[in-house]
A and B are shown apart, each in its own frame.
Chain A
Amino acid sequence: MSILQIQDLKKYYGQGDHVVKALDGISLTVEKGEFVAIVGTSGSGKSTLLHMLGGLDRATEGKVYVDGNDLFDMNDDKLTIFRRRSVGFIFQSYNLIPILNVYENIVLPIELDGARVDKGYVNQVIETLGLKEKVNNLPANLSGGQQQRVAIARALATKPSIVLADEPTGNLDSKTSQEVLILMKQMSQKFNQTIVMITHNEGIAQTADRVIRIEDGQIASRSEAGRR
């Protein structure tokens, strides 16, 4: 079952001679439970692509379907609700709320949506990510790796259709990066969670199910990795 479909996506900035083609005709399908890595140098268009998938920006041309919903067909109000419910975000800079403790940070998106917390599921996520003893700590008392794990838990807590990760290991040293990637892979397997991650870390081929390389707004290569 495909959860994400991108059809001939184009995003141009500027006009006439000065047009910048950030994305120039990208088509891609992601299956449910897949862990896809999008790699490319800065300026290759990978961030623009991720913004499109999260409904943070609108395309010049083309379509994005998440779980059957046409993203560019929704108005801004609907898109906000859609993002809150169906998309989990993981950022390079963690973006945790400093005055809330770990548990409160994790369940925040659920409470923002006015929904009830599925305690069993959330506790399972917390345990798998090794955060059980840290739930009452404030983010400032955690290491970078721990903070990013909290951010992963927060992204998964709402059981979104898709988790989008924007350079999740950008602020971490190589050892911790590897651990975070392994955890993301394990989460995607254990909870059948679809994850699309952008990174310039080339050594991720062993953890992601599929690596897609983007150059100048186009898909340069796809590699099918070890799906299990």
Chain B
Amino acid sequence: MNKNGEYYFNRVYLVFSILLTVLVIGYTGAILYTVGFNSRIVWMSVLFLVIVFVVGGASVWSLKCRIAGVVNNLDDVIDGAINGQDRVTGYMETNISSLENKLIRYIDLSTTHDKKVEAEKNKIKELISDISHQTKTPLANIVLYSQLLDEHSHSGLDEDTQGFVTQIKSQADKLDWLIQSLIKLSRLETGIISIHATINPIIESISKAVSQVYTHAEHKNIEIAIDCDQAITARHDMKWTSEALFNIMDNAVKYSDTTGKIHIAAQANEMFTRIDISDTGIGIDNSELNDIFKRFYRCKATSKYEGVGIGLFLAREIINSQGGYIMASSTVGQGSTFSVYLLRM
């Protein structure tokens, strides 16, 4: 019970006990005055006074206990209702019982509302997932036929048409990548794929990601250096984390000129294992550092590069969902560093 309530109660008790004392003393005095001094009456009055106080005290004390009991009971009722447990009071003819029922009804109403909102959200996510999934086959066909067309084109197509075919192919590839990413995202968000983070050495996840970007990097003559102790572990899902790391490294390769360098360093700190991925690429303007993780965000300086702006968003989703964190720092023209924090414990 709060201090305020107790304070009021104490004042009430004080006022009533003073009133009672005055009353009893006054009454005894009046009797002594009318009857004259009598040791028996004095003795009886004292006894009466003591008994009245004992009885009064006892009743106040029991009342106090009772009130504390009621408050505790209410606390149980509220806790139970919030946690969705069974009714504490059942259906009794008491005020508390009816209060509990009202409370439960209120909580039910708000949870139903929450569920409705949740369901609607899921519907939208499902829709995205459906659209992505349904477009997969026709898209695969477009890619296939454009390849066929490309092969045939050597036998007598004019230069313009040849250019169009190349365009169709590259646009279809881009669309294919976008849809693949969307499928991954929507599966992550709807929880179709759940992330199982367990304690694993991170070197494996890093190597896996590096192996995916290696050809591209070699093609651009970019050097990749890994500085990671074999013993460093972190709580992470290896498949998905390497997907996230790949997205970051892919950007590092994409936005670096030829003969650039990518440096990957890992270190174990108190709570997190930190993986730094530094590149010598074009860099990110400070004002855009917080936007780069947003869905479909593309930096102003990157318009001449291919891309749809979903890789870093996906990376952040993956890292955040396993209790980690991702951030970036950068100097324009000199390069960027992405720091991935993964829980150690």
Contact = CB atoms under 8 A, between A and B. Distances in A.
B224 to A, nearest CB: 25
A205 B290 CA distance: 8
Contacts of A207: 325, 327
A130 interface: yes
Contact of B294 (A176, A206, A226): A226
Contacts of A116: 75, 79
A116 B83 CA distance: 15
Contact of A206 (B79, B274, B289, B345): B289
Contacts of B323: 128, 186
A206 B328 contact: yes
Given A145-B270, A226-B290, A182 B329 contact: no
A118 B345 CA distance: 24
A73 interface: no
Contact of B325 (A128, A176, A186, A205): A186
A222 B341 CA distance: 27
Nearest to B286: A205
A186 to B, nearest CB: 7
A194 B30 CA distance: 67
B1 interface: yes
Contacts of B343: 130
A210 B273 CA distance: 26
A74 interface: no
B291 interface: yes
Interface centre among B79, B270, B327 (most CB of A within 10 A): B270
Interface in A52-86: 81
B269 interface: yes
A149 B3 CA distance: 30
B246 interface: no
B1 A185 contact: no
Interface in B64-85: 75, 79, 83
B137 interface: no
Interface residues on A, range: 20 to 34
A226 B293 contact: yes
Nearest to B76: A116
A179 B341 contact: yes
Interface in B309-330: 323, 325, 327-329
B345 to A, nearest CB: 5
A130 B269 CA distance: 13
B79 to A, nearest CB: 8
Contacts of B240: none
B39 interface: no
Interface in A112-139: 114, 116, 118, 120, 128, 130
Given A149-B271, A176-B270, 7 more contacts: A120-B83, A179-B270, A182-B341, A185-B325, A206-B289, A206-B327, A207-B325
5 nearest A-B pairs in the assembled complex, by CB-CB distance: A226-B290, A206-B327, A182-B325, A225-B290, A145-B270
Interface of B: 1-4, 75, 79, 83, 269-272, 274, 289-291, 293-294, 323, 325, 327-329, 341, 343, 345
22 contacts: A114-B1, A118-B79, A130-B271, A130-B343, A145-B271, A146-B270, A149-B271, A175-B269, A175-B270, A175-B274, A179-B269, A179-B272, A179-B341, A182-B272, A182-B341, A203-B329, A205-B289, A206-B289, A206-B327, A206-B328, A207-B325, A207-B327
